[in-house]
Amino acid sequence: MLSRDIFIEEMTWPEVKEKLEAGYDTVIVMAGSIEQHGPHLPTKMDAHSGEVLAKLFAERLGNTLVAPIIRPGCSEHHMYFPGSMTLRKEVFQDVVRDYVDNMYRHGFKKIILATTHGGNFEPMYELVPELKEKYEPKGVKIIDILDFDDFVVAQNSILEEFDLTEEEAGVHSGGSETSFLMASEPESVRTDKLARGYVGKFDAEFDHKLHTEGMQSVTDIGVLGDATKASKEFGEKLIDALADYYVRKAKEAL
């Protein structure tokens, strides 16, 4: 069960009201996804990592609650693989708009936008100017942590300690994400199915191919990285590093 002290969906309305009156004026709107994560990780991976990181983020930032994790997200490039789900970009953006408006109507003064799924970064970031224009004159600060490159740098910041390359760590179901789940929910990792997927460069050419031709065009198992390099120890440090990244970025914006 999610924490009743942090997650709005686990609280009663009087409990949310009490938190607001006690100075909990900040809320995290985190978007995940439901999509294939190779033969060894469940489709909920990005929604799960969103919950784990949002909890630590809220606790470390202080006076902060977490809205229900948004899922599915924008995952068209995964739809070749059964079980994946996607929202049209305009539908996803409308969901984000409504989430922000809901939080504003309940009295939150700082709304933080973040995501753990690569396909959500750009659609969410496109909304930031519009949301700032609409809500900041009403006294609500919109804070975005939506730079995908920054997120990957934070994710890769501890690789040297574990003798992993960026290609092995990967950006989808590789050494990094597999380690994350080994640390946070090990029973969900199919350890007998760990595999090495695409371990080439993640450059602009690769990104274009991925998003125009689909994940299956670069890996027939849906893995970007090497899951066989994963470990619980790496996952524990990765979770801590990413939570600290969110807190640092939020404090820089406050």
Read off the CATH number of the domain in which 155 is found: 3.40.50.10310
At 3 the pLDDT is 86
- Of 207, 199, 203, the closest CA to residue 226 belongs to 199
Given a cut of 90, whether residue 243 has pLDDT beyond it is yes
Q: Flag whether 110 is in a domain.
A: yes
pLDDT band, very low/low/confident/very high, at 254 (cuts 50, 70, 90)? confident
Q: Flag whether 3 is in a domain.
A: no
Given a cut of 80, whether residue 166 has pLDDT beyond it is yes
Q: Flag whether 1 is in a domain.
A: no
CA distance 23 to 43: 36
Q: Flag whether 179 is in a domain.
A: yes
Q: Which of 12-21, 22-31, 201-210, 233-242 has the lowest mean pLDDT?
A: 201-210
Q: CA angle at residue 68 from 135 to 149, to 5 degrees?
A: 70
CA distance 207 to 3: 36
Q: What is the pLDDT of residues 83-92, one digit of tens each?
A: 999 999 999 9
Q: Flag whether 64 is in a domain.
A: yes
- Total tally of structural domains belonging to the chain: 1
Torsion of the alpha carbons at 133, 129, 49 and 190, rounded to the nearest 10: 140
Q: Flag whether 2 is in a domain.
A: no
At 191 the pLDDT is 97
